[in-house]
Amino acid sequence: MIAQTTWGWFLVWELFLGWVGAGTYIIGVFLDFWRLKFRLASKIGVMLGPLLILVRTVLQFADLGRPMNAIYILGNPSSMISIGVVVIMVFLVVGAIHIGLWIWPFKVLEKAEKARRLLGLLGVLFAFGTALYAGILLGVVAAVPFWNNSMLPALFLISALSTGLALVTFGSAVFRRRSVGVTPEDIQDSIRHLAKANAVLIGAELFVIATYLIVVHGPSPAADVSVQLLLAGYLAPFFWAGLVLVGLALPLGLNLLGIARRAMSSLGMYMLSSVFVLTGSLVLSYLILAAGVPVTYEPLFGTQAFFTIPAFLGSSGSELTSLVPGMYDYALIGAFFVVLLIVYGVGSVIPVGGKK
Amino acid sequence: MVIDLFRCVACQSCTVACKAENYTSAGVSWHRVMQQEYGTYPTARRSFVPMPCMHCDNTPCLKVCPTGATYKRNDGIVLVDYSKCIGCKYCMQACPYGARQFNDGDAYFPEIGLTAFEKFGGTLVEHVPGTAEKCTFCAHRIDEGVKNGLKPGVDPEATPACVNACPTNARIFGDLDDSNSRISRIVKDYHAEPLRPEFGTRPSVYYLPPSRSVIKGELKW
């Protein structure tokens, strides 16, 4: 059994940015409905969400074999890609209006609270679509039993909300001196609330991932191979160290510890926890794609057949898109982690916009 | 198409005939021969499974194609309109038979680019780098033959190259819609089965069992 080599790192980033962007926007809009001290977090969420989705869309465009033909992408309304592109385009337009009228360059919506929230709710509708569509896109692929599961969109959604919260937490900690009308203590308090919510979400994500592996581990040999790759195969280092430890256990522990201590110094812990969540999320996106074993090499007939290989190797897919871990994959995820750590280090020492 | 697994000797003539006929680029092989073992001792067997595109009636690649580049003709042949394909590779993921191949535009001799032969082939059969390709059932041969009043499956000029090339006559081509055609009778009478029926794709390629004892009822598939 061979894992799919059709989709490579481009799609890993697309999935990751897709759910982070959508989740950030969703969290941002919902925080707008809360007290004034969440206004900073809300603004960060609404600002970053559409920007990340924009980057994601550019990546998707670059990933195409013939980008100049992209005009045809709406040709088949029953294809998840066509549906997703429409959803993302509408989301980008609504997001742009939301940013443009609230944060920069105009501040019309600062006073018009009702209109802002209504616009936000409209955007959230499409943000949910953006977060879910990639999960459905992979989920309808019957030829890859590891993806062909109704739990996958749920995993995408919960991952979106969790990473969204993490990014918003991180952002409000970095920009904590930028807020107008509230004390730094209030901001600390709001960040503590966000961390509390994220602890719940990380717990839920842990549960969903565990359930997913149990559910998918069925009679299909290809899905069995996928689960084996994750738990004990060549993807095991990424799964146990990258996803379970760094992505789930450590941030959960840090958030719980920070909440228990109730101290101001917990801010750094929440930020570090966000760094861990985001790195773990990139690893999750990598693992979902790298563990996708297609049925192509399942026995073609006969229940007792036990292996199928090409008698002549005409390879499909290239080494470029192979997600079998090599130096490149470790380096890329490691580099992402280090960059986030540097941002964390700088951001926690020098808060942006020190007016006070 | 019916492929008799009992007759197949895995000589790869079909694979080579396909490449020669369609001038597919390096790394792309529209036709593959798989091998697998089945059964238990003492009836264990090794069997070879030639795999072209199955030209499914319920087409997974057509359903997921966002551009509508993949289309099905009235005679059931599934083709790709390369002028519309954007190369998103969704169809490659969706096909349970692995029939789709991506054309990276690789040449066999990268240091000198495309050879004169490859360039000449490109004028006969359309290949666009950056698109997902697949077996066409040699639609160009069928069309040409039918235009000249020939019958696909009977006259070699109107039949896919792999069928003509098969030295053991393991491949039988014809019109499955016509219930009186030779191929329809073979499918009915000899327990011919498609691959991966659990996906509900209703393929147009049927396989005869790899062992005659299956037809006699002594061994299960």
Give me the mean pLDDT over the B14-25 stretch: 90
Contact A4 B100 (CB under 8 A): no
Nearest CB partner across the interface for B69, out of A63, A72, A143: A72
What local confidence, expressed as pLDDT, does residue A260 receive?
A: 86
Check CB contact under 8 Å for B32 and A65.
no
Q: Cβ contact (<8 Å) for A314 and B28?
A: yes
Strands B2-4 and B206-208, bridge-based pairing: parallel
Structure tokens at A108: 């019309």
CATH number, domain B2-215, options 3.30.70.20, 3.40.190.10, 1.10.600.10, 1.10.8.60 = 3.30.70.20
Distance CA A242, CA B37 (A): 38
When comparing pLDDT for A263 and B205, which is higher? B205
Instruction: Please tell me the predicted confidence (pLDDT) of residue A312.
Output: 47
Chain B residue with CA closest to A81: the answer is B66
Kindly determine whether residue A294 and residue B93, on different chains, have CB atoms separated by under 8 Å: yes
| Residues of chain A with C-beta less than 8 angstroms from the C-beta of B95 | 143
Structural domain includes residue A131: yes
Residues of B in contact with A309 (CB under 8 A): 34-36
Q: How many residues does the structure list for chain B? A: 221
For A189, phi then psi, to 5°, come to -65, -40
Of B32, B65, B86, the CB nearest to A69: B86
Cβ–Cβ of B94/A67 closer than 8 Å? no
Q: Per residue in B158-191, is it b (16+ CB within 10 Å) or e — as a string?
A: bbbbbbbbbeeebbbbbbbeeeebebbebbeebe
In order along chain A (356 residues), what is the average pLDDT of each group of 10 residues? 84 96 96 87 94 96 90 91 95 96 87 91 96 94 92 95 95 81 82 92 95 87 89 92 95 90 75 94 95 83 56 46 81 93 83 53
Compare B42 and A159 and report the one with higher pLDDT.
Answer: A159
Nearest to B34 among A7, A63, A309 (CB): A309
Considering only CB atoms, which chain B residues are within 8 Å of A141?
Answer: 64, 93-94
Q: Which residues pair with B153 in a beta bridge?
A: none
Find the range with the poorest average confidence among A221-230, B39-48, B190-199: B39-48
Chain B residue numbers with beta carbons less than 8 Å from the beta carbon of A299 are 36, 38
Min Cα–Cα distance to chain A from B86, Å: 5
Q: What is the mean pLDDT of chain B?
A: 89
Which residues of chain A does B100 touch, with a Cβ-Cβ cutoff of 8 Å? 316
Mutate to test the interface with B, among A1, A7, A9, A66 (most CBs of B within 10 A): A66
Report the pLDDT value the prediction gives residue B86, as an integer from 0 to 100.
94
Q: Is residue A67 part of a domain?
A: yes
Q: Cite the DSSP H helix spans in A140-249.
A: 151-174, 184-216, 221-231, 236-237
Nearest CB partner across the interface for B86, out of A65, A301, A312:
A65
Please tell me whether the peptide bond between A105 and the residue prior to it is cis, using omega within 30 degrees of 0: yes
Determine, for residues B94 and A143 on separate chains, whether the beta-carbon distance falls below 8 Å: yes
- Give the pLDDT score at B138: 94
Residue B32: list chain A partners with CB under 8 A.
310-312, 314
Contacting residues for B173 by C-beta, under 8 A, at least 6 apart: B1, B152, B153, B159, B160, B163, B183
* Predicted ipTM of the assembly: 0.90
Q: What is the tens place of the pLDDT at every residue in B134-147?
A: 999 999 999 999 99
What local confidence, expressed as pLDDT, does residue B113 receive?
79
pLDDT score of A167 = 95
CA distance B132 to B21: 18
| In-domain check, residue A2 | no
Chains A & B: contacts with CB separation below 8 Å:
173
- Could you tell me the maximum CA-CA distance found in chain A, to the nearest angstrom? 74
Of A292, A312, A316, the CB nearest to B101: A316
B89 and A65 in contact by Cβ < 8 A?
A: yes
* CB-nearest partner of B66 from A82, A314, A316: A82
Residues spanned by the domain of A157: 9-349
Cβ–Cβ < 8 Å for B65, B87: no
* Cβ contact, residue pair A75, B96, below 8 Å: no
Best mutation target, B86, B103, B134, to test chain A (most A CBs within 10 A): B86
CATH code of residue A161: 1.20.1630.10
- pLDDT of B148 higher than 90: yes
Residue of A2, A69, A319 to mutate when probing chain B, most B C-beta within 10 A: A69
Q: How confident is the model at residue B219 (pLDDT cuts 50, 70, 90)?
A: low
Residue B156, preceding peptide bond in cis (omega within 30° of 0):
no
Nearest chain B Cα to A5, which residue?
B93
Residue contact B96–A300, C-beta within 8 A: no
Residue A356 lies in a domain: no
A301 CA to chain B: closest CA distance, Å? Answer: 7
* Cβ distance of A294 and B12 shorter than 8 Å: no
CA A299 to chain B, closest CA, distance in angstroms equals 7
Q: pLDDT value at position A230?
A: 93
Q: What total number of domains does chain A contain? A: 1
pLDDT in the model for residue A1: 65
Q: What is the pLDDT of residue B66?
A: 94
Q: Give the pLDDT of residue A180.
A: 72
How far is residue A226 from each of residues A230, A239, A336, measured CA to CA in Å? 6, 12, 25
Cβ-nearest to A65 among B51, B87, B221: B87
Q: Do A141 and B94 touch (CB under 8 A)?
A: yes
Question: Which positions in chain B touch A295 (Cβ < 8 Å)?
Answer: 96, 196
* Cβ neighbours, 10 Å, residue A30: 18
**How far away is chain B from the Cα of A307, in angstroms, using its nearest Cα?**
5
